[in-house]
Structures are given as C-alpha cells and as structure tokens.
C-alpha cells in the first residue's frame, strides 16, 4: 500500500467509525422518542416526522458509508484513485477533498449534467467521429447489396 493511500485509508476508517456511531445514536434517540411518546396520540405526528427526518439522514449516512467502504476496498485492491468512468487517474487534490470519490472531475460533471451514472455514459462522439461509419461513404462501399 502506498504511503499516501495508507493515510487516506486511515482517514476513511475514522470517518466510517464516526458515521457508524452517528447512525447508532440517531436510532437510539429515535427509539427513546418512541418510548417517551408511546400511547401519546397527540404527539404521534411530530414523532413520526422526526422519524422521517432521521431516516433520511440515516440514508445519506448509509450512502456515504457505502462509498467509504468501497474506497477502502479499492485501496486494498490497488485500484484506488482510478476513475470508474474513464479509467484515468483521479487528481490527488480531488482525492484529498473527497477521499471516497470514484470518478474524476470530468466524469462527475458529465454525470451531474446528464443525471446519470457515469458508468452508463456512452461516448457517442467517438462513434460519430469514426470515419468507417460515416454515411457519406455509403453502404455500397462495403459491397453490400440492398434488396
């Protein structure tokens, strides 16, 4: 493991512990609230909205947790720092800012604009610029006889 990656791994591990602790305290706070209000019909609504907010927070945390664990695995697999979209190296500054990122800035922006998973983006410009596929050449050039 590279020294820089080892540091990032430790950072990710610390953040992971933080999130796990936060999720745990969220759910125990929620359970506490439910116990306090058990049988209390009037306050049931406020209790449930607290639950909704809490579960949304937990969802965000769970997503980050998943990304962090994936990044830790990539460090172990020595594939860390490579963009999943274009397979180029992700800039060190970007990794320092968002250690659990799996995409370079270009792919991240493209994904945000298209609102798609970068892994699903097909680079149509490559296909369109392929001279063997231009319509100008005509299908006849390939010796195909149309019916």
Residues within the interface to Zn ion (CB under 5 A): 83, 85-86, 104, 107
Nearer to Zn ion, 21 or 87 (CB): 87
Min dist. Cβ of residue 112 to Zn ion (A): 13
CB of 82 to Zn ion, least distance (A): 9
Provide, rounded to whole angstroms, the least separation between the CB of residue 89 and Zn ion.
Answer: 9
Of residues 68 and 83, the one with the C-beta less far from Zn ion:
83
CA atoms within 13 A on the CB side of 8: 27
Q: Using the minimum distance from each CB to Zn ion, give the nearer residue, 85 or 99.
A: 85
Report how far residue 47's alpha carbon sits from residue 52's, in angstroms, rounded to the nearest whole number. 9
Is the CB of 32 or the CB of 92 nearer to Zn ion?
92
> Which residues, other chains included, contact 122 with Cβ-Cβ below 8 Å and sequence gap of 6+?
none
- For residue 88, the minimal CB distance to Zn ion (Å) is 6
Contacts of 102 by beta carbon, 8 Å cutoff, 6+ apart: 67, 70, 71, 74, 83, 84
Tell me the C-alpha distance between 73 and 66, whole Å.
11
């Amino acid at each position: 493991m590279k020294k820089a990656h080892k540091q990032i791994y430790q950072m990710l591990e610390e953040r992971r512990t933080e999130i796990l602790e936060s999720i745990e305290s969220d759910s125990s706070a929620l359970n506490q609230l439910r116990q306090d209000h058990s049988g209390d019909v009037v306050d049931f609504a406020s209790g449930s909205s607290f639950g909704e907010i809490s579960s949304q927070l937990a969802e965000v945390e769970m997503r980050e947790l998943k990304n962090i664990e994936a990044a830790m695995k990539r460090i172990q697999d020595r594939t860390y720092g490579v963009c999943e979209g274009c397979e180029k190296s992700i800039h060190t500054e970007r990794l320092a800012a968002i250690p659990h990122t799996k995409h370079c800035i270009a792919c991240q922006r493209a994904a945000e604009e298209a609102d798609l998973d970068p892994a699903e983006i097909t680079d149509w410009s490559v296909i369109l610029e392929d001279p063997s596929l231009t319509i100008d050449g005509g299908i006849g050039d390939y010796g195909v006889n149309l019916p």
